[in-house]
Amino acid sequence: MNRDYPERPFIGVGVAVLRADAVLLIRRGKAPRRGQWSLPGGLQEVGETVFEAARREVREETAVEIDDLAVVDVIDSIQRDAAGAVEFHYTLVDLAARWTGGEAVAGSDAMHAEWIPFARIDGLGMWSETNRVIREGRRLLFADG
């Protein structure tokens, strides 16, 4: 099934990978939001749990390993074209996780991967839901977040 103008929603995962002073972000390599900063993530595969999908997608997109995963929220991302038809529809399970190893290297669907200090996330022009997930994930995983 095509991702654009789909017959049903796709289930995806996004992961706010956190370390003490920063969050791991990627520049998206594909639509929707191509070229924009985002959380690493992607589609869940058949037979794979959400947490397994999160670990795989983060590894494929950034070469980073994660642990201590926690569900932050489930978000619907529905984009319509000028005529009002649904062009993209994703049900996103957004998680927070602690970085356990590896350095950020773009791979797979990412154009770029980088650790961004928390103080800089507001100036990146990200989707407001992404900013919210990062903040909530930080609160869940770090007492001082």
Integer-rounded Cα radius of gyration of the chain: 15
Query: Total domain count for the chain?
Result: 1
pLDDT digits (tens, 9 = 90+) for 28-73: 877 667 788 999 999 999 999 999 999 999 999 999 999 999 999 9
> Domain for residue 5, yes or no?
no
Q: Which residues of 68-95 are buried (b: 16+ CB within 10 A; e: fewer)?
A: ebeebeebebeeeeeeeeebbbbebbbb
In a domain, 3, yes or no: no
Asked whether residue 2 is domain-assigned, the answer is no
116 within some domain: yes
Q: What's the pLDDT at 58?
A: 96
pLDDT of residue 143: 65
CATH number of 40's domain: 3.90.79.10
This prediction's pTM: 0.88
Residue 111 lies in a domain: yes
Q: What is the pLDDT of residues 73-118, one digit of tens each?
A: 999 989 999 999 999 999 999 999 999 999 999 886 778 999 999 9
106 within domain boundaries? yes
Sequence-separated (6 or more) residues with CB below 8 Å from residue 122: 131
Provide the residue range defining the domain that includes 102: 10-141
pLDDT: which is higher, 115 or 20: 115
Q: How high is the pLDDT of residue 59?
A: 95
Residue 18 lies in a domain: yes
